[in-house]
């Protein structure tokens, strides 16, 4: 490889469209998205309701498929994959963090974190070791046996992040991860995501309505009316 060679983006969208419905009731949510996401970047996605950002994130998370265009992940055409292949890609390469935490209420923090590994068929010791390591990474190792009701909102979101990273994903998709938190807890979560991005090499894609949270990202993508309106530089690398 040439010394000045540039690696291909981990994600590329080319002319991606998404149409819901048909005929007179058809709605075009995406009108031709072109977007490259570099490996190791921290990207904030912003835009008003109906701008297409959530639809794009669902496509990037392999939760939905484009109506047209190309979606490449690590050079592979995702739009050509069937449902099972997309599910495999999701399990192997992607982690998800949601605004509402989505933790199982009657199980411990560790059991919540272990869940993706259980779906993978990992043995009990492997699940325990990986789960405790993930909790340690988010600063909650000592809280492993607490249920969500025994944790603060910020701690619950940390458990959700540990669950998202326990499979060592290449990309972490976070949908309004600070939306249910106060300003102090929001800063803690953003500092944690920044640390995971810088020190663990995880590519982070985050939807947010808050400019203060988007400022932590290195790249800010603005959506409007089903298109990428502009891309700005955020925080310093």
Element (H, E) at 228: strand 227-233
pLDDT tens, position by position, 140-155: 999 999 999 999 999 9
Q: Which two tokens stand for residue 92?
A: 């192997």
Query: What is the C-alpha separation between 80 and 64, in angstroms, rounded?
Result: 13
Q: CB-based contacts of 156: which residues, under 8 Å, 6+ apart?
A: 101, 103, 148
8 Å CB contact between 77 and 86 = no
8 Å CB contact between 210 and 44 = no
pLDDT above 70: percentage of residues in the chain: 96
Query: What's the rounded mean pLDDT across residues 75-80?
Result: 95
Q: Which two tokens stand for residue 131?
A: 């789960």
Q: What share of the chain is helix, strand, coil (3-state, %, to 5)?
A: 40, 25, 35
Query: What's the rounded mean pLDDT across residues 62-89?
Result: 95
In 3D space, the residue among 68, 75, 65, 69 whose CA is nearest the CA of residue 9 turns out to be 75
This prediction's pTM: 0.89
Q: pLDDT grade, residue 234 (50/70/90)?
A: low
41-58+89-233 folds as Rossmann fold (3.40.50)
Secondary structure (3-state) at 222: strand
- At 151 the pLDDT is 94
Residue 64, φ and ψ in degrees, nearest 5:
-145, 165
Query: What is the C-alpha separation between 19 and 173, in angstroms, rounded?
Result: 23
């Amino acid at each position: 490889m040439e010394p000045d060679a540039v690696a291909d983006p981990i994600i590329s969208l080319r002319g991606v469209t998404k149409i819901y419905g048909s005929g007179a009731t058809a709605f075009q949510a995406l009108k031709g998205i072109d977007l490259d996401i570099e490996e190791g970047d921290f990207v904030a996605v912003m835009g008003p309701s109906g701008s297409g950002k959530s639809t794009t994130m669902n496509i990037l998370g392999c939760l939905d498929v484009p109506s047209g265009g190309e979606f490449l992940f690590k050079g592979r055409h995702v739009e050509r994959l069937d449902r099972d292949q997309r599910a495999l890609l999701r399990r192997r390469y992607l982690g998800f963090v949601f605004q509402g935490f989505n933790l199982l209420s009657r199980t411990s923090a560790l059991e919540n974190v272990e869940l993706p590994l259980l779906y993978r068929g990992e043995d009990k010791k492997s699940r325990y070791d990986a789960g405790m390591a993930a909790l340690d990474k988010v600063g909650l190792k000592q809280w492993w046996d607490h249920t969500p009701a025994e944790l603060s909102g910020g701690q619950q979101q940390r458990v959700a992040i540990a669950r998202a990273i326990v499979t060592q994903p290449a990309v972490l998709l976070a949908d309004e991860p600070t939306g249910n938190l106060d300003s102090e807890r929001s800063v803690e979560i953003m500092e944690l995501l920044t640390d995971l991005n810088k020190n663990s090499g995880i590519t982070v894609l985050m939807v947010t309505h808050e400019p203060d949270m988007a400022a932590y990202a290195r790249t800010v993508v603005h959506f409007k009316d089903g298109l990428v309106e502009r891309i700005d530089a955020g925080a310093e690398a």
